[in-house]
A = this chain, B = another copy of it.
Amino acid sequence: MTQINAETGARVRRVTIVDVAQHAGVSTASASKVLRNAYGVSEAMKQRVQASMDALGYRPHRPARGMRGRTFTLGLLVSDIENPFFSLIADGITSVVRSQGYELLISPGGYDAGSQNAVIDALIDHQMDALVLIGPVVTGADLERIAGEIPLVVVGRHSRSAALDSVSGDDELGSALVVDHLVALGHRRIAFVANQQDSLEPDRPESVRLAGFVEAMARHGLAESAMVVDSRWSLTGGHEAARVIAETAEAVTAVFAGADVTAFGIMSELWERGLRVPDAYSLAGYDNSRMTSIGPIDLTTVDQSGFEMGETAGRLALERIGGRTESRHVLLRPRLILRSTTRSVAAGG
């Protein structure tokens, strides 16, 4: 693509490192060393080259850098860019890597393993220096393969792989916080809305939250009155779950939705039936996404501190790029956010 200047009709040629070197009267090798802050350049040389770079408005060409060294770019896989939680993570990553000259490029990979794998490959083909994957649905074997090709940090999977790093919330604890809260309010018959998966990777948050729910209920001696509704963590999944729950013979008094978006679907379905939360039953979500706090919603939920997760993921990625090969697996502590959708069973919900 040779771009033409709209006004003058002249071609706009990029300023290259050769231009900088000529302007400064040094070799390109020296200019490169200054650019990379490499070892073995005199202070005087550094000053001169830096001055030329500024004067010419030099900006290194990333693909060219990537052909030999680094692109100074991290790739981020998300399923869908509209998830506010992902946005927090992205901001967290950016906040720690930007100061090191790194930037972040994001690619939406959809919700199935096939398309996610394709997008991951594309990110690798772009010569990213490292990859951060948020809640990937690909298999553990896929992750191992990817980690063999590029430094890899996975967010939201409770991995124990030796080949990659992971950072996630303690979803088991998160579920326990919700159950403990509901039980303290007097609830006994509690439903959990599970996210049905095609491939059941045990380290996915869906699996861990479900396990945490089951275990917490058992701990309270409530294994018998625990109900698991298989659905999807989506708006429509929430609607469906609410319909299933409505048809249950023994009515539950509280529902733990597993994810905020599912809770929104449930609220919406109840609303259409003329029912209200927490009058119909108490309701809790998971994620503390932005809309949970607005008045008409005001949903009890679990906060995962996405920004901090992002910071951690960014730091881990930089360490990997820097040469670390032993794996790190970080678990962050979730917090229960109490709002008005959960209340004492005595109050009738």
Contact = CB atoms under 8 A, between A and B. Distances in A.
Interface of A: 1, 3-7, 12, 59-64, 66-67, 70-71, 73, 78, 80-84, 86-87, 90-91, 94, 103-108, 119, 121-122, 125-127, 129, 144, 147-151, 162-163, 235, 264-265, 267-272, 290-291, 293-298, 321, 325
Q: 5 closest Cβ contacts across the A-B interface?
A: A271-B295, A63-B63, A82-B87, A268-B295, A6-B163
Given A270-B295, A271-B294, 6 more contacts: A1-B70, A3-B150, A103-B122, A105-B126, A106-B108, A235-B294
B67 A64 contact: yes
Nearest to A104: B107
Given A82-B83, A125-B60, A290 B5 contact: no
Given A67-B64, A105-B107, A148 B81 contact: no
Contacts of A90: 81, 108
A275 to B, nearest CB: 10
A94 B106 contact: no
A127 B61 contact: yes
A148 B3 contact: yes
A84 B80 CA distance: 9
A63 B59 contact: no
A272 B290 contact: no
Given A81-B87, A125-B60, A105 B108 contact: no
Given A61-B127, A105-B106, A82 B267 contact: no
Contact of A3 (B67, B94, B149, B269): B149
A13 to B, nearest CB: 10
